[in-house]
Chains A and B, each alone.
Chain A
Amino acid sequence: MERIFLDKLAGWFTKAVAIFSVGILVLMILGLLIKSDQILSTSSLSKLLLSSEWKPSKGDFGFLPFITGTFIVTLIAMVISVPVCLMSAIYLTEYSGKTARGIVKSGVDTLAGIPSVVFGLWGILFIVPLVRDIIAPAFGVETSGYCILSGSIVLSIMVVPIILSIMEDVILSVPEDLKEASYAVAATKWQTIKYVVIPKTAHGLFSAVILGFSRAFGETMAVLMVVGNVAVHWKSVFDPAYPLTALIANNYGEMLSIPLYDSALMFASLLLLVIVVAFNLMARYILARMKTEEG
């Protein structure tokens, strides 16, 4: 009987731990909500989101420049990264041999493991001078190099592993028969890719992009190190920006000395959490639906 009892006990234990992990999430959301409540009761939600006035000592907390900063850095990163990832994924799955794909895959896996501080350091050493001395002069602009474009370039490389690996998986899931049918009517490889593979996988490719987007959106250290961190109204990609994540990371020291500041930063965290989670769930939902349609 002891065996049976132990078995039951182990089962309950797994259940308790699993419930605990849901509990962490609930606790976090509740905690952030409670802390954000203070600031939400002094300024309205629309004022917090749409005002550009950021004077914590006067109690003005307008998040607009930080929100637009996060979005622009992330969007440009995706504009750079997505075409490269898509073409790479197509090349690796349809054109190159298995060996080449294996080698690139282990390279990309390595890239995935590199800490974001190292990306940031590389950004300072390589991307910032590149933007300052080569890219900006080419457009006739002067910049310190610590700007939106630098942040976006660093981010665009950081999201390669997640976007590329999902895109590869998605393209590989296209049944061989479908492609054979296309080849049978004398279509070239690219025609097959254009008319069969991409339409067939559009949803999956899209969800890879969203997952990459949400990863980039929440990235902190690497962006913080190269993006300049000035809460200005940026006019070009050579201007600095101040993303939400950098705002939180840079100000925890002050947040205790100024009233409402901690609440404002928790509101920023909540905002990040809600946006990132929404994107994530959307991507998961699309991928899961694709699986059931296939299966």
Chain B
Amino acid sequence: MELRRIEEKVFKTIGLISVTLVVACLLAMILTVVVKGLPALNWQMITQTPKGGYYLGKEGGILNAIIGSIYLAGGATILAFFISLPTALFLQKDYYGKTKLAELVRLALDVLWGIPSIVYGAFGFVFMMYVGMRASLLGGIISLTFVIFPIMTRAIDEILLTIPRDLKEASYAVGATKLETTLSVTIRQAAPGILTGVVLAFGRAIGDAASILFTAGYTDNIPSSLLDPVASLPLAIFFQIGTPYVEVQQRAYASAVILLIVILLLTSLTRLFSRMSENYAVK
């Protein structure tokens, strides 16, 4: 065989091995966590808060962390939406998309997108100290909002770019204002795509630990006000794995299975929405 044919075969095989490796890592990870965690998972885990001696291996569950994570991620997603949607609209050509200011905003968003979440957490903590706030649900929500709003803005911005110009022109032609066009044409048309971005951001928020490590605190109770500290699933995993007790470590695996299930559900949901937006949008 010619050398170049051999070369072709060799590199094609290396390529195949690489892809297999990537897929194998994903499967190995999900399998390891599920196999380790499933035996420890039971009804008590998801319906009870930790009882006395829980961290020594006694009764209880991680309901506090499940509810806490929903509060944290939910709150942050709502707050981020009110920043992201207007910012994404601002970046459109219809609004200020062509101005120097828009370029500056784009740059700032790129920078914010790249900042590690631990930096948001550390800054958030120092800022909270400065204004005299304790680690709390509110602090956690605000830090998470900063982490996810650049992600959400980018997702919404990309969706808005796909809305056909003609559609908007038609609306302008009958005398609709920008606001009316935005509300009844652009946003409607982009709705499934926007929803995808929102779910994506929620998923990122529910999995992030570094930004809430200092700002949200941790507690065995379900918070009753915004100023109470709050537990979260990622930190529940982190703290439980750090204990020397095998029973508690197993609960960390079980908690990871719960978090993984939530994330996989959210991923399927985004896939569903993006398929919807492909079928439903006017091209």
Interface residues of A (CB under 8 A from B): 3-4, 6-7, 10-11, 13-15, 17-22, 24-25, 28, 31-32, 35, 83-85, 87-88, 90-92, 95-96, 104, 106-111, 113-122, 124-126, 157, 160, 164, 188-191, 193, 214-215, 217-221, 225, 245, 248-249, 252, 256, 262, 265-266, 269, 272-273, 276-277, 279-281, 284
Contacts and interface: CB of A to CB of B under 8 A. Distances in A.
Interface in B12-50: 12, 14-19, 21-23, 25-26, 28-29, 32-33, 36
Contacts of A107: 22-23, 26
Nearest to B2: A188
Interface string B232-255: 001101100100000000001100
Given A18-B87, A110-B267, A249-B118, A115 B241 contact: no
Nearest to B115: A273
Contacts of B177: 3-4, 6-7
Interface stretch (B52-60, B119-127, B221-229): B119-127
A84 B18 contact: yes
B184 to A, nearest CB: 13
Nearest to A125: B32
A18 B5 contact: no
Contacts of B120: 28
Contact of A225 (B203, B241, B271): B241
Given A117-B207, A124-B241, A276 B213 contact: no
A284 B107 CA distance: 10
A266 B122 contact: yes
Contacts of A215: 114
Given A20-B83, A84-B21, 17 more contacts: A4-B177, A11-B95, A21-B87, A31-B127, A95-B12, A113-B204, A114-B207, A115-B207, A118-B260, A125-B33, A125-B36, A160-B22, A193-B11, A218-B117, A249-B210, A273-B115, A281-B110
A18 B149 CA distance: 12
Contact-size category for B: 35 or more
B282 interface: no
5 contacts: A7-B179, A22-B108, A28-B115, A116-B208, A276-B116
Interface string B149-168: 11001000000000000000
B216 interface: no
Given A84-B18, A269-B123, A276-B114, A221 B146 contact: no
Given A110-B264, A121-B252, A280 B112 contact: no
Given A121-B253, A245-B210, A272 B118 contact: yes
Nearest to B238: A117
Contacts of B259: 115, 117-118
A77 to B, nearest CB: 13
A32 B126 CA distance: 9
A221 B116 contact: no
Contacts of B266: 113
B104 A88 contact: no
Given A14-B95, A35-B126, A88-B18, A111 B116 contact: no
A60 B107 CA distance: 37
Interface of B: 4-5, 7-8, 11-12, 14-19, 21-23, 25-26, 28-29, 32-33, 36, 82-83, 86-87, 89-91, 95-96, 101-102, 104-105, 107-123, 125-127, 129, 146, 149-150, 153, 177-180, 182, 200, 203-204, 206-210, 213-214, 234-235, 237-238, 241, 252-253, 256, 259-260, 263-264, 266-267, 271
A15 B25 CA distance: 44
Given A10-B178, A24-B146, A220 B117 contact: yes
A188 B8 contact: yes
Given A87-B15, A126-B32, A220-B116, A25 B108 contact: yes
Contacts of B112: 21, 24-25
A77 B95 CA distance: 42
Given A190-B12, A269-B118, A126 B108 contact: no
